Amino acid sequence: MLSGQLIRRLFPMAGRVCLSRSSAGPGAVGPVEAVIRTKLEQALNPEVLELRNESGGHAVPPGSETHFRVAVVSSRFEGLSPLQRHRLVHAALAEELAGPVHALAIQARTPAQWRENPQLDVSPPCLGGSKKTRGIP
Amino acid sequence: MSGSLGRAAAALLRWGRGAGGGVLRDPGVRSAGSGGGGGGGGSAERLDAMVKKDKVVVFLKGTPEQPQCGFSNAVVQILRLHGVSDYAAYNVLDDPQLRQGIKDYSNWPTIPQVFLNGEFVGGCDILLQMHQNGDLVEELKKLGIRSALLDEKQDQDSK
């Protein structure tokens, strides 16, 4: 699928990221990640839920749970615009987004859309965030 | 269409090479900063005016010349690919009230945020999706903006 090829070319790290790795420690799932998974399962009853802690790729301390990417595949997204789908995900994770979660990349697909391109994308590289303005390397 | 998307992909790869050096300047982009207008830094009235003042309005971390966030850079690069050079860009890192205010205004928890014709469109993921499925070309057309990708395709077709 062309969009899959495009994503791999846009994000050069795509082939090198392990889906299950989180920055909470090798193989460990942190508490925030666990809560995100539970809440999304309850709210959206997904067929597929792929969640990746991407905090390790950002300017935050090791073990952080601040940056996540999620692919949610649910028939509840049928007939909803991308904006409406994302808002559903945000609503389920309102507490986390008001709290520790600083960034959430979302792929919200219907089962048919997922079958066309079943992969969790990779986020673009961090450009330093607000730390750049403080002169921290 | 695959040819222009291939070139688009090559251009977007530049965002992996860091801020500053890897980001080209866009003549005509207004880094509107956070100044000007009445009301507090993040008041709904002020934000309403900001998002309606220009056809394309984005709230970023950093500026189009020097984005400070990979997701914000993605928005800048997508607009650049489409040849959108005249848009308002507001740097939320300059103004904590703006940073929180825009999240309250659009009821959206993250930055970047994209507004077309005064209407909230979404963040980086949605803009990328719109770019990939052709919706962005259509939405820009409704605003009277002709996407540069259409001209690329035309060049291709006429060869």
CB A48 within 8 A of CB A71: yes
State mean pLDDT over B18-34.
Answer: 49
State mean pLDDT over A31-52.
Answer: 97
Q: Determine, for residues A3 and B132 on separate chains, whether the beta-carbon distance falls below 8 Å.
A: yes
CB A68 within 8 A of CB A51: yes
What's the confidence (pLDDT) of residue B119? 97
Among B70, B129, B132, beta carbon nearest to A125? B70
Q: Which residue has the tokens 């996540």?
A: A68
Residue A78's CB is within 10 A of a number of other CB atoms, namely 11
C-alpha distance from residue B1 to each of A6, B8, B11, B134, B148 (Å): 12, 11, 16, 10, 13
pLDDT higher than 80, residue B8: no
In whole angstroms, what is the distance from residue A54 CA to residue B79 CA?
25
Q: Which residues of A touch B18 (CB under 8 A)?
A: 127
Nearest CA-CA distance, residue B129 and chain A, Å:
9
What's the confidence (pLDDT) of residue A44? 98
Going by C-beta distance under 8 Å and a sequence separation of 6 or more, which residues neighbour residue A11?
A121, A122, A123, A124, B16
How does pLDDT run across A111-136, given as a tens digit for each residue? Answer: 999 999 898 888 999 998 887 554 44
Region label for A9, one of left (φ > 0), alpha (ψ between -120 and 50) or beta (otherwise): alpha
pTM, full prediction: 0.79
Q: Sign of dihedral through CA atoms B20, B23, B25, B29?
A: negative
How does pLDDT run across B136-145, given as a tens digit for each residue? Answer: 999 999 999 9
Nearest CA-CA distance, residue B144 and chain A, Å:
23
Q: Which residues of B touch A133 (CB under 8 A)?
A: 68, 93
Nearest CA-CA distance, residue A36 and chain B, Å:
15
State mean pLDDT over A28-52.
Answer: 96
How does pLDDT run across B57-94, given as a tens digit for each residue? Answer: 999 999 999 999 999 999 999 999 999 999 999 999 99
What's the confidence (pLDDT) of residue B155? 76
Q: Determine, for residues A2 and B15 on separate chains, whether the beta-carbon distance falls below 8 Å.
A: no
Q: How confident is the model at residue B22 (pLDDT cuts 50, 70, 90)?
A: very low
What's the confidence (pLDDT) of residue A28? 79
Q: Determine, for residues A86 and B122 on separate chains, whether the beta-carbon distance falls below 8 Å.
A: yes
Query: Quick one: which of A60, A43, A46 has its CA closest to A100?
Result: A60
pLDDT higher than 70, residue A49: yes
Q: φ and ψ at B59, to 5 degrees?
A: -110, 120
Residue B3 or residue B127, greater confidence: B127
- Residue of chain B minimizing CA distance to A4: B132
> What is the percent of chain B where pLDDT is above 70?
74
> What is the percent of chain A where pLDDT is above 70?
76
pLDDT higher than 80, residue B51: yes
Among A9, A102, A127, beta carbon nearest to B67? A127
Mean pLDDT of chain B: 83
Collect all residues from B whose CB is shorter than 8 A from any CB in A. 2, 5, 8-10, 12-13, 15-16, 18-19, 61-62, 67-74, 93, 107-110, 120-126, 129-130, 132-133
- Residue of chain A minimizing CA distance to B100: A98
What's the confidence (pLDDT) of residue B153? 72
- Residue of chain A minimizing CA distance to B5: A6
In whole angstroms, what is the distance from residue B73 CA to residue B57 CA?
14
H/E element holding B28?
A: none
Residue A48 or residue B21, greater confidence: A48
Window from A76-80, A128-132, B13-17, B112-116 with minimum mean pLDDT: B13-17
Burial (CB count <10 Å: 0-12, 13-18, 19+), residue A20 = exposed
In whole angstroms, what is the distance from residue A74 CA to residue A45 CA?
7
The tally of CA atoms less than 13 A away on the side-chain side of residue A36 is: 30
The string of DSSP letters for B42-83 reads T-HHHHHHHHHHSSEEEEESB-SSSBSSHHHHHHHHHHHHTT
How does pLDDT run across A50-101, given as a tens digit for each residue? Answer: 999 999 989 899 999 999 999 999 999 999 999 999 999 999 999 999 999 9
Q: Which residues of A touch B130 (CB under 8 A)?
A: 82
Q: Determine, for residues B68 and A133 on separate chains, whether the beta-carbon distance falls below 8 Å.
A: yes
Q: Which residues of B touch A83 (CB under 8 A)?
A: 120-122, 126
